[in-house]
Structure 1
């Protein structure tokens, strides 16, 4: 009898533990899954978009902001008069009637009819009181200054799933930070399985994007764009670009390219105009490269400013190639100061040969040539410098005067800024702070990229460049009341295996005031037609902008 009692008691105990185990499994282990399944029985998971962060200039102005627009949606099963509803919607919103009618004919509980509907159109439609039609608030990117700084800002388009996504410039580079994190919610259904309009229950709350605080000076940007556009038109150039940097911090104060586009209506412009040529286009810099080569030889003490060129009495022959000066004028025993002033190619071959291939490569790398600058914009490129064993004597010679080597404009501006900043190169950047959704702000500190040359060399090179401005080919355009360091550039464009002397890249690079620079600037014109020379095209644009900036920053004459 006892064994039967014990058997039954054991069976009951075992059954009890089995029930407890199953309850634990369903109520603890599978709890989240069952909860989700239950929610899905009376609703569906929908994505709620976060508010994209704003992009603000140095004065706090939102150059990229958001405006409230609406998604118009409908429940076709609640629409009473399909034909009339489709007619009213299409007429009010100005969209295709056939598309609206086709959507309303679908056997669904929810369909999207239109997005980015302006508040006025939404209100006009709402007043009609159409059965089964609802509205969902959303954010649409808005650019208050239209095309200003378009290449720097980029734009917001759509990804493969039709969700907002940043492309190019800051919008592309900082897309993840700007867009924040999407939320998830349950769209509640009624007893008949129909979604209750605008009735959402949070599953995962969205996190809004962070704001970007820029070093971009809106007034400086306006001045640069105005002068650059005038110059491109005046000198008949195919395109043009310019950028202004604070050489002491690496902060970009202005950056512009023409032709440009309106980020809000980017679809109206060809794809080819979207990329920022200042960081994405390669070109041969020509004579604006000479200060880098000259300062390298000065830093190694291979030459002094008074060193005489023993190879400048006429054209120089290198590996069967005759190298001439730009105007076929030659100066026997010319010194290094005058080599830069006259932009003498034979003099720069002399300097390059003093450097040698190993010295040239060493200093180019120290100046950041052949490497990405790390500027915080989407699309930067940089070709690498070829290995020493791949250099020919003619490569060394032509690199001395900026031909046969391709770089980006930002590489040259960054490198030349080291001369302006006592030999220290700072990383170019546009973001100076990030404001998080919780209101806290993270400041971005300037970053040094090293010292390619000594302060003493930088001082000597600065004076050589000041002399070039005062006495060189562009002296006619200079600002006599200010000390400005600079260098012209005219580079022939390689076409079909040879250089076309009638098609050039005209440029001017410099910084001001020379003793204590507030800014460094590079201006480039692509294929100007009124004149092929930088001294007659890019230089006057540079000095026009420089004058505007010096006045704007309150720098008195004599500096």
Structure 2
């Protein structure tokens, strides 16, 4: 009996001990952090100190993106006594009441209710005099030029945790550098919540984000945007892009696409507009690609400018028939004339001489099949057929720019290598970053020598001849030596090409003897004419004329 009573008492004591242990574990481990925070909030006011997001400036220091003061509205939930405050705030903020009340939780002491609230709304909230509701200044993005360079800049939205986050373009690519690091203020307070002037106070300073200084030239950007918008209307194009690069540094001088959007109002725009066509879109370049194939053929020595091709009509490859674009055939043609007349069958002859091994190797050296490494978010990487999968017809069509996909930035970089003597550079938008008075330079990066400088010089003359004697010669500015090539590619639709829908382009550089810029103009489905020589080329020359004036370049002829 005594033994049973002893066991019973032991069991009771053990149970009590276990309950106490579990409870202590719950208080100290499971809810310890929360209780510590609540205890700290009883004696200390803890407020975040937001970091200022870095600015984005043009090469001459003009702000494309800066900050303006707005406000973060917050609530200290333990101080809230007005049960109708969510309804009152929601009305002023013009948001559903649930978006305010849904953030309330008994586990929280402090909660952010709304970000980027303008001064006029804060004034109305102040008039309500709601206990426990406060506000603190925070920056919001300001775009002085509205939609200018929108695709290049990107925008700032909110992350899953409600913090500022950059999306697309520079804002996305350089988000970590731009956003900086937030700080925190910890101030001792009395039982009524008022700061104790002689009490404990500590501050962790915020570290502002870095500023980006671009290689982009504000005037060149303005010219590109103005002329592109006019060109799209004039030629009835569905979409268009212009990218202008310094071939000697890889620096992006201008980048424009239409239709566009305003980064400050991104939430009111269609999401498909956020993508930057210059770096994200892939397309078949058409005859503009003949420049790259000729670069490979000349550099490897399989053809010379004076070599003769017998242009005797269409050629058959298996079940495929390849014709010239205008179905005209000229008998004996030099390599120079093949480029001037943009002869597809002549380029197939060049491609055969080059061969699969050489052709694929040179395309890869020129950067096709890889991203360019440009400092913009969302760069695309078109599929590039593995060498062993290239068939005879693939070699033939690639020789005149069909059946192969590129991005505009890949194309302008490759032609830039011809302009600078054969060096492939990494394209770059940002020239330097400023960090608390220090400057971090981003130097031009040469990736490799893709063709010999002698080859580049010969090919430049062929491209000048193509401009002087080709289909677009009527639009060329008089007295200036421009090296370039038109491109017209039919749009692939469900396994075939639609002859009525094209992508028209022109890529080139000027002045040919000492290039100041390399530029690509691309128009999607122009309706006034399907041909690059009648749409993209005159637009290129129109922009080039403005650039000659801006740079003070005089006619050389």
The one-character-per-residue Cα deviations of 1:383-439 (angstroms, maximum 9, x if unpaired) are 353222211101101110000111111111000001111111221101110100x21
Query: Are the aligned partners of 1:423 and 1:458 in contact in 2 as well (CA < 8 Å)?
Result: yes
Q: Distance in 2 between matches of 1:42 and 1:502?
A: 74
Secondary structure, counterpart of 1:398 in structure 2 = helix
**Aligned pair in 2 of structure 1 residues 104, 316: CA closer, same or farther (>3 Å)?**
closer
Query: Are the aligned partners of 2:82 and 2:130 in contact in 1 as well (CA < 8 Å)?
Result: no
Secondary structure, counterpart of 1:450 in structure 2 = strand
Q: Distance in 2 between matches of 1:300 and 1:228?
A: 37
Report the alpha carbon displacement of residue 204 of structure 1 after superposing the two structures with TM: 3.6
The one-character-per-residue Cα deviations of 1:77-108 (angstroms, maximum 9, x if unpaired) are 6567665x7787566x4525845985899877
1:321 aligns with 2:320: yes
With structure 1 as the length reference, what TM-score do the two structures score? 0.87
Q: Distance in 1 between matches of 2:347 and 2:335?
A: 9
Report the alpha carbon displacement of residue 543 of structure 1 after superposing the two structures with TM: 0.8
Q: Distance in 2 between matches of 1:204 and 1:129?
A: 30
1:465 aligns with 2:466: no
Report the alpha carbon displacement of residue 166 of structure 1 after superposing the two structures with TM: 0.4
Equivalent in the alignment of 2:298: 298
Report the alpha carbon displacement of residue 237 of structure 1 after superposing the two structures with TM: 1.2
Query: Are the aligned partners of 1:76 and 1:104 in contact in 2 as well (CA < 8 Å)?
Result: no
How is 1:10-409 mapped onto 2 (pairs within 5 angstroms)?
A: 39=40, 42-43=43-44, 47-75=48-76, 93=92, 95-96=94-95, 98=97, 102=101, 110-123=110-123, 125-126=125-126, 131-186=131-186, 190-191=190-191, 194=193, 201-202=201-202, 204-310=204-310, 312-409=311-408
The one-character-per-residue Cα deviations of 1:332-355 (angstroms, maximum 9, x if unpaired) are 110011101100000100100010
2:485 pairs with one of 476, 483, 487: 487
Unpaired runs of 5+ residues, structure 1, are 1-31
Equivalent in the alignment of 1:525: 523
Secondary structure, counterpart of 1:449 in structure 2 = strand
Report the alpha carbon displacement of residue 317 of structure 1 after superposing the two structures with TM: 1.1
With structure 2 as the length reference, what TM-score do the two structures score? 0.88
Q: Distance in 2 between matches of 1:296 and 1:101?
A: 63
**Aligned pair in 2 of structure 1 residues 341, 141: CA closer, same or farther (>3 Å)?**
same
**Aligned pair in 2 of structure 1 residues 268, 38: CA closer, same or farther (>3 Å)?**
closer
Secondary structure, counterpart of 1:467 in structure 2 = helix
Q: Distance in 2 between matches of 1:324 and 1:188?
A: 83
Secondary structure, counterpart of 1:141 in structure 2 = strand
Q: Distance in 1 between matches of 2:138 and 2:42?
A: 27
Report the alpha carbon displacement of residue 315 of structure 1 after superposing the two structures with TM: 0.5
Unpaired runs of 5+ residues, structure 2, are 1-32
**Aligned pair in 2 of structure 1 residues 319, 67: CA closer, same or farther (>3 Å)?**
same
Q: Distance in 2 between matches of 1:105 and 1:261?
A: 35
**Aligned pair in 2 of structure 1 residues 229, 364: CA closer, same or farther (>3 Å)?**
same
Secondary structure, counterpart of 2:519 in structure 1 = strand
